[in-house]
Amino acid sequence: MSASRKNAITPSRSKDYAEWYQQVIKAADLAELSPVRGCMVIKPWGYALWENIRRVLDAMFKETGHRNAYFPLFIPLGFLQKEAEHVEGFAKECAVVTHHRLELDSEGRLVPAGPLEEPLVVRPTSETIIGAMFAKWIQSYRDLPLLLNQWANVVRWEMRTRMFLRTTEFMWQEGHTAHASAAEAMEEARRMLALYAGFARDYMAMPAIQGEKTESERFPGAVNTFTIEAMMQDRKALQAGTSHFLGENFARASEITFLDQEGKRRYAWTTSWGVSTRLIGAMIMTHSDDDGLVLPPRLAPAHVVILPVIHKDEVRSQVMEYCRQLAARLREVRFHDVPLEVELDTREMRGGEKMWSWVKKGIPLRVEIGPRDVAAESVFLGRRDRPARERESLPLAAFIEQVGAILDEIQKNLYERADAFRRRNTREIDSYDELREFFTPENRQKPEIHGGFALCHWAGGAAEEERLKNELGVSIRCIPLDDEEGEQGTCILTGKPSPRRVVIAKAY
């Protein structure tokens, strides 16, 4: 047995997690770096994942009353200057267009020409330009609530990039809403956070903690920022989605006002919320193993691959016809109201090499068909939630009847596995010394001291949070919303009374 088959991805997660992550992306053919610094090319298998994420979320947004719109990629610099706190938060990441054409110089080189009267910022986020349009569209309480969503790309000039997690350009959705009251806007922000958490649980098979960010971690210009935080297999936290209650801040900056039912002019209350292609990175790091990508069936680009196993030409037509008929019958099956996506792999290559290519791509079910399977009217089935060499023979009719239930079982297994991992690596900690020990790198291999999510009482401020970052390389990921009643305790750093625990972790 070759070393590559013992460990399809090199290095393993335990040896070099960061490089393992990059190699999983490469082996699954999800994406690769582009000639443009910090940007990636998302390849068909990876983009199909994003399309499935978008399809599901888009339906959820529309079910909750939101409609899609599109706003310009370019934002006048003056729009950002209206919101001082907001622009300060993004200023270092902004790409700026200053000219509107190119000309040849005396040496035949293209150089920028035609300076713009006002520079244009390539959108890092769209609150300011959407606010300008909201100010035109909203005149009366009858125009509220206004519930919009945009699917778009954004640019944030990142210095250290990693595919799907942090790139200069990335795909996302951004919801923007305006309301007549603070209570209604807050309800919207919390509702969309719960929607994200439900999507992560039911489709990504990824458990996530719903919580609120501390003041120093809030979205620039927000009154409250809410987040879903998930634990990756290296025990770091990943912020997988955010929802912001913006209060009247952006309404005042953009003059979004309305006449209320008493004829008084009021400022609207606004929200924004979004997730991005970072969700693909989250799925990779939550489920994948040392054989490659592992995908939850409800988002996988394809559910089943059929692999003809043909060693003699005289049986080729018989095996291929069996495979084509199986593919046709499977495509008639619906899985959660979506037709099964089936791949029939007819490439001329060794069977083992072909099988491993699909293992590394993370497809949930692999069906191998040879002459014996045809004769017995059976299939030889491999599941991605089990070891690659663990396969079983099933009667053809039984497989077709049970395929949806098998996929549901895989989805359930992946969630339970991720949830058990998070629970094993979450610990209540009641002193700073214990926290330091928990996050000391040399202690990570000890079963009782290994890093992860630390649940600690907290009553500190920005200075204390900065100390956590400087001394331990950790941050407060969120104040969990499911613990709003809380338990009284003592802050691990200040010794002050604390009403509840927060989640502290290393993070991406």
Residue boundaries of the structural domains of the chain: 45-72+123-287, 304-418, 426-505
184, with CB counted inside 10 A (0-12, 13-18, 19+), is middle
Contact indicator for 253, 215 with CB cutoff of 8 Å: no
pLDDT at res. 448: 54
Between the CA of residue 1 and those of 6, 10, 83, 352, what are the distances in Å?
7, 16, 62, 12
Residue 205 and residue 287 in contact, taking contact as beta carbons nearer than 8 Å = yes
Name the residue among 459, 465, 505, 501 with its Cα closest to residue 484.
501
Q: Which residue has the tokens 């499977």?
A: 330
Return all residues near 63 (Cβ < 8 A) that are at least 6 apart: none
**Which parts of the chain register pLDDT below 50?**
1-5
**Burial of 417: CB neighbours in 10 Å, binned 0-12, 13-18, 19+:** middle
Residue 440: predicted pLDDT: 86
CATH number of 304-418: 3.40.50.800
pLDDT for residue 392: 97
Identify whether the C-beta of residue 145 lies closer than 8 Å to the C-beta of residue 178.
yes
Secondary structure (DSSP) of 152-200: EEEE---SS-BTTTB-SEEEEEEEEEEESSHHHHHHHHHHHHHHHHHHH
d(CA 76, CA 78): 5
Domain 45-72+123-287 CATH assignment equals 1.10.10.10: no
Predicted local distance difference test score (pLDDT) of residue 443: 58
Rounded to two decimals, what is the model's pTM?
0.96
Q: What is the C-alpha to C-alpha distance for residues 484 and 2, in angstroms, rounded to an integer?
A: 53
**Can you read off the two tokens belonging to residue 114?**
């035609």
Query: Per-residue pLDDT tens for 323-375?
Result: 999 999 999 999 999 999 999 999 999 989 999 999 999 999 999 999 999 99
Closest residue by Cα to residue 507 from 479, 482, 472, 462: 472
**HSE-up of 16 (CA within 13 Å, CB side)?**
8
The rounded distance, in Å, linking the Cα atoms of 7 and 386 is: 15
- Give 426-505's CATH code, choosing from 3.90.1150.10, 3.30.110.30, 3.40.50.300, 3.20.20.70: 3.30.110.30
Tokens linked to 263: 């004829």
Q: For 175-214, how does the pLDDT look when each residue is reduced to its tens digit (9 = 90+)?
A: 999 999 999 999 999 999 999 999 999 999 999 999 999 9
